Structure formats: structure tokens, C-alpha cells
């Protein structure tokens, strides 16, 4: 039996993938017959990770079900073309005017990436917290579904792109069952026992000289 925390991750990936409508890519989701031109913002992506889980002892019986407080991370990545020749900013011989123009262009690229990230976080939040998705696409109930934080990193120039990454964190509570594993009977070890005696004069024979040799 597959545990529910794994099924929920797969369900979230499917939910985000089927809801993308060309606004982003979902890492791990297999597009079905979608042309590349239909993904208008394939410079934006989201990837889902099971981050951690808490299984409090008071939340279940010894044989189950077990309460599982789960945490999932959504890694968000956006990129925009760098509207500047980065060599100008890296060249100590660049003039003040060239450097100022390059810096302004870089700030503009960073602003575009920042706006794109905010929009992506908005879209993901609306999908996950939609009342219709209260069970995150699962056929079994999911409790306490909640996006509890959004974090954004600084934009970073990488070659011809300005890349901005960040994350959203989702928590929810589910029940886990134990299917039980078939027990394999232990096989007792087999010992080869050989009795060895020492031949001595019967008058001086020492019974302690007899012994047992065992071999696996």
C-alpha cells in the first residue's frame, strides 16, 4: 500500500499541471499533446517536494490509522531576458554613462522577473486554495489544507537571463494506514558437529582432551 503523503504529492502535481493553462510548467507533469507554442510562459515553473511530516503518537492507535501532519514545498522559478550586455557591468573600462545605462537595464529586467514571480505565486495560491480543491485532487478527505508562507529570493543574472526563485509552503493533515508486511520465517543456522578425540595411553588418558569442532 502506498502511503497517502506520496499520493498527495502526485495529486498536487497533477492538479497544478492540469490547471496551468499555458501560464507555467509543472515539473514532473506529463503534458498530453500540448504544443510548445501553447505554453506562453514556459520561462516559469513550479516543482513540488514533500518536505517533512509529523506523526504525533497521540494522533493514532498502535495499529493505525496514524495522523500525519505533512509539509510540501513548491519551488517557483521565473526568468526574463537580460536587457543589458553584462560585459559592460563587468568591464572596469566601461564609462560611467555605459555603466549607468547597463544598471538601469538590469533593474528593468529584475522588475520584469519580480512581477512574473508575483503573478505565478498568485496563480498557484488561487489553484491550491480554491474551495473546489479542498482535498487537493484526492478522492479521500484532506484536512487543514493551508499555504502558510511565500518566500522570494533576489534576482540573479545568469548569462542572457535574469532568474528569480522562491518558494511556497503547503501544510495539510491526512491519515495513514499500515498494510502489514508478510513475515519471513527465520531459518535456523545449521552446524556441522564433529567429535574429535585424542588417542593417548589408556593409563594416562585425560578425558578433558576430547572436544567438539563446529563448522558453519
Least confident among 41-50, 166-175, 192-201: 192-201
Give, as one character, the DSSP assignment of residue 67: E
The pLDDT confidence band at residue 36, using thresholds 50, 70 and 90, is very low
- Rounded Cα distance between 203 and 209, Å, is 14
**What is the reported pLDDT for 90?**
72
Instruction: Say whether pLDDT at 25 is over 70.
Output: yes
Least confident among 8-12, 52-56, 112-116, 188-192: 188-192
Instruction: Say whether pLDDT at 143 is over 90.
Output: yes
- Rounded Cα distance between 47 and 25, Å, is 9
The pTM of the full predicted model, rounded to 2 decimals, is 0.73
Instruction: Say whether pLDDT at 91 is over 50.
Output: yes
Cβ distance 74 to 46 under 8 Å? yes
Size of the chain, expressed as the number of residues it contains: 216
**What is the reported pLDDT for 59?**
65
Residue 33's SS3 state is coil
Instruction: Say whether pLDDT at 169 is over 90.
Output: yes
> Cβ atoms within 10 A of the Cβ of 15, count?
22
Domains annotated for the chain, with CATH where assigned, are 4-176 (3.30.2000)
Amino acid at each position: 500500500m502506498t502511503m497517502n503523503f506520496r499520493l498527495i504529492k502526485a495529486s498536487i502535481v497533477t492538479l497544478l499541471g492540469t490547471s496551468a493553462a499555458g501560464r507555467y510548467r509543472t515539473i514532473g507533469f506529463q503534458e498530453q499533446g500540448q504544443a510548445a507554442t501553447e505554453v506562453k510562459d514556459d520561462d516559469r515553473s513550479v516543482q513540488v517536494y514533500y518536505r517533512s511530516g509529523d506523526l504525533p503518537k497521540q494522533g493514532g492507535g498502535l495499529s493505525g490509522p496514524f495522523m500525519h501532519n505533512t509539509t510540501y514545498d513548491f519551488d517557483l522559478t521565473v526568468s526574463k531576458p537580460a536587457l543589458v550586455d553584462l560585459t559592460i557591468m563587468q568591464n572596469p573600462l566601461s564609462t560611467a554613462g555605459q555603466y549607468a545605462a547597463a544598471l538601469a537595464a538590469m533593474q528593468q529586467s529584475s522588475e520584469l522577473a519580480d512581477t512574473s514571480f508575483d503573478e505565478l505565486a498568485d496563480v498557484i495560491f488561487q489553484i491550491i486554495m480554491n474551495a473546489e480543491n479542498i482535498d487537493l485532487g484526492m478522492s479521500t478527505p484532506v484536512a487543514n489544507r493551508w499555504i502558510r508562507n511565500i518566500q522570494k529570493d533576489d534576482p540573479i543574472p545568469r548569462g542572457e537571463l535574469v532568474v528569480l526563485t522562491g518558494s511556497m509552503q503547503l501544510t495539510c493533515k491526512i491519515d495513514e494506514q499500515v498494510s502489514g508486511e508478510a513475515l519471513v520465517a527465520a531459518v535456523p543456522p545449521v552446524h556441522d558437529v564433529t567429535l574429535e578425540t585424542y588417542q593417548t595411553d589408556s593409563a594416562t588418558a585425560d578425558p578433558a582432551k576430547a572436544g567438539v569442532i563446529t563448522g558453519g
